[in-house]
Chains A and B, each alone.
Chain A
């Protein structure tokens, strides 16, 4: 038990920080309740997928600057494919768009592996490529989304026999998020591919010498990142009902949440839970500041300050633990 707490100290700390923030929100805004939480989850959803995408890539020792562009491209593709089609056709669109995401990510990874150009350069270039492609697919915001898919993200889950006072606190969007994350991450943690991803991020040379196919593993990590970006793109289309070709503010937010979530940018450490909690924290701070009617420009300063302070605090604690 103590071993579990020790290993996951960072994530537990983040949960505690989040709980403290919820309490703080209640004092600022006494009527903040299930509805507020529901809209928070709605707002977090695309960010959370961007964070999941970035997490996999960063653990593998890379970084993907093209995540927001991939989300835009998959979003408009989904909107165009569903435009003017029947409701049931959408069931084909979802796997197609997810596959597109895997393909985009795999292209990123393959370019890095083959060209040996640093990740940050290749994905910066691909940021522009995917953004341009998104504009080719759909020049102005438009398209459509199937109603049944849209309804997946709104409202709460009704569980028979459970009072609505509790189910009100379980928005559908949260369930969608957790299911999507679990479907990818649980098998990944239990597979050798997952171990290989951690290994190449931790020590490329050691992984190579242990016989790991470093190149293929890197491509796979980027492909999984692309898959999550596609989920993010789909969520964007479903929550707005249209596709927008201009990338949203997801890239820097994803890097911020990854850092705050305890994943070292040098790779090889951390997990998915930390960054997801971190993205909730960052969004909640933002809405709290809005409730307080703080100047939006100050809001970004506060967000940055929180990141620096928390990460510094973490480094300090890690140092002290090592000293003892």
Chain B
């Protein structure tokens, strides 16, 4: 397989790699993996513009980047799951020929993905056979990683998640890889197991093996890694030597030039300011909510007429939090109160009856795609059995028309929701709750994957709802927009609230630091702190 060489006349972003031609093949090459100029296009969409990553022998190398920066695309290319559109990948100085995960394994590159990889219906021994993993080294690694009693005849589905992650790692280690790729390895682990894992990873490097480490936990990164490569918008923007203070540099690199942009945007915030009376009874208040190990202890108040931003990296317990507040999940501890009265939600209908409604980010989970716009808006009216009776068309039509008008939903293709554009579909999910007269709207990343114009409309709509006294809880993965839409922001990390910020404070750098759990551990530096030992790879102008 030959990949097209990157266009040499294009601005040369990889000054990191001064060699113009692939180097001569030597076994003493210090670079185990050297990827440069990697480009991946999906049709018109560019996932990677210009990614590079080089891993030395015997180092732990962190791969960092915000959601959507291109980390997972790069990982998939390295492990052979997908092919790059262009770029060089050298393994031990030789052009890589890896076209599938199995070939990557033979080339000495083994990865442990974010999700457990054992097949649930097979027992552990059969899972090992599937990948031709020798059993004895596997057992030794499992022990080394701190799991003592393991029955190889146990079907994988009966094994707790944390142990499964350890088994995944042990299986990878038993293959004796030269390069181990760990994607969010520690996310599901309790503290003691995580510590053992980090120790084992560190020991790997003693024998000249290397590890690529992906994690949202900045503290782990600084404790474990030697260097970090930072991706932003599909391109490598810098390689940082880990040293005291390097975390801040990484954050700066992940953000790019957005610090200045945030200032400009603040001025453009819509005029609809709401006066929030912080002394009022909270519309919705959560106290010490817990769900399993994901949501550990979350308390906050959502005031009447307020848009409260919720900021978190992926998998910090926000899914569970929204599940509890909307009545789909029962909490294992803590309480929820609506207007000061304790509420118990056993079914989404209970929450809806209290006026607490949920707008999921994935529209497929919210809409009956083959049904019409009107039916989708009317659906919550038919909540429980007492309302199974005849539909009062006149009353209902009035409310539906009103909601469609207010949201300016394009109804040309209203016979089937699936024929609407993504933005219009999202409007339908919000319109149904306007029609039912919701008092607290829980929005889970409502602007994911919709165009800028509709995005702005949705933010305007949320502000408008707040201006009329409705409360909005808004989880968004677009941190640079929090201060545009929200009055306050709550930051959740590892299942706990770690920070509460006012709109004025909630610019992107501050939010990112808080979301990575850096507040309190590292002082916030001046915005123009010199990038002392950074090795920036010329961000495109």
Q: Taking beta carbons and an 8 Å cutoff, which residues of A are in contact with B? A: 3, 6-7, 187, 190-193, 195-196, 198-199, 202-203, 205-213, 216, 220, 264, 268-269
Contacts and interface: CB of A to CB of B under 8 A. Distances in A.
B107 to A, nearest CB: 41
A191 B389 contact: yes
A252 B185 CA distance: 51
B367 A209 contact: no
A176 to B, nearest CB: 25
B382 A196 contact: yes
Contacts of A268: 368, 370-371
Given A193-B388, A198-B371, 14 more contacts: A191-B390, A192-B387, A195-B375, A202-B368, A205-B365, A206-B367, A206-B368, A206-B379, A209-B326, A210-B380, A211-B347, A211-B348, A211-B353, A211-B384
Contact of A7 (B353, B378, B379, B415): B415
B435 to A, nearest CB: 12
B385 interface: yes
Contacts of B368: 198-199, 202-203, 206-207, 268
B312 interface: no
Given A208-B348, A209-B348, A211-B349, A193 B370 contact: no
A228 B381 CA distance: 27
7 contacts: A191-B388, A199-B379, A203-B364, A203-B368, A206-B379, A213-B347, A213-B383
A209 B389 contact: no
Contacts of B75: none
Contacts of B383: 210-213
Contacts of A207: 368, 379
B415 A210 contact: no
A213 B349 contact: yes
A193 B380 CA distance: 12
Contacts of A6: 415
B360 A209 contact: yes
Which 8 A-B residue pairings sit nearest by Cβ, starting from the closest?
A192-B382, A202-B368, A211-B349, A211-B383, A193-B388, A211-B352, A210-B379, A210-B380
B516 interface: no
Nearest to A202: B368
Mostly helix, strand, loop or mixed at chain A's interface? helix
Contacts of B381: 192
A203 B383 CA distance: 15
Nearest to A270: B370
Contacts, number: 95
B205 interface: no
Interface residues on B, range: 20 to 34
Interface in B327-385: 328, 347-349, 351-353, 358, 360, 364-371, 375, 378-385
Contacts of A7: 415
Contacts of A192: 381-382, 387-391
A6 B414 CA distance: 12
A194 to B, nearest CB: 9
Given A191-B388, A202-B368, A212 B415 contact: no
Interface in B426-448: 432
A32 B437 CA distance: 60
A211 B415 CA distance: 22
> Of residues A6, A190, A192, A208, which shows the largest number of chain B Cβ atoms within 10 Å of its Cβ?
A192
Given A195-B391, A199-B379, A210 B432 contact: yes
Contacts of B352: 210-211
Nearest to B359: A209
A89 to B, nearest CB: 33
Contacts of B348: 208-211
Interface in B381-402: 381-385, 387-391
A209 B310 CA distance: 21
B389 A195 contact: no
Contacts of B366: 206, 209-210
Contacts of A216: 385
Nearest to B387: A192
A216 B387 CA distance: 12
Contacts of A196: 379, 382, 388
> Of residues A190, A213, A220, which shows the largest number of chain B Cβ atoms within 10 Å of its Cβ?
A213
A120 to B, nearest CB: 20
Contact of A203 (B369, B382, B389): B369
Given A198-B368, A206-B366, A212 B382 contact: yes
B415 A202 contact: no
A171 to B, nearest CB: 32
A206 B380 CA distance: 10
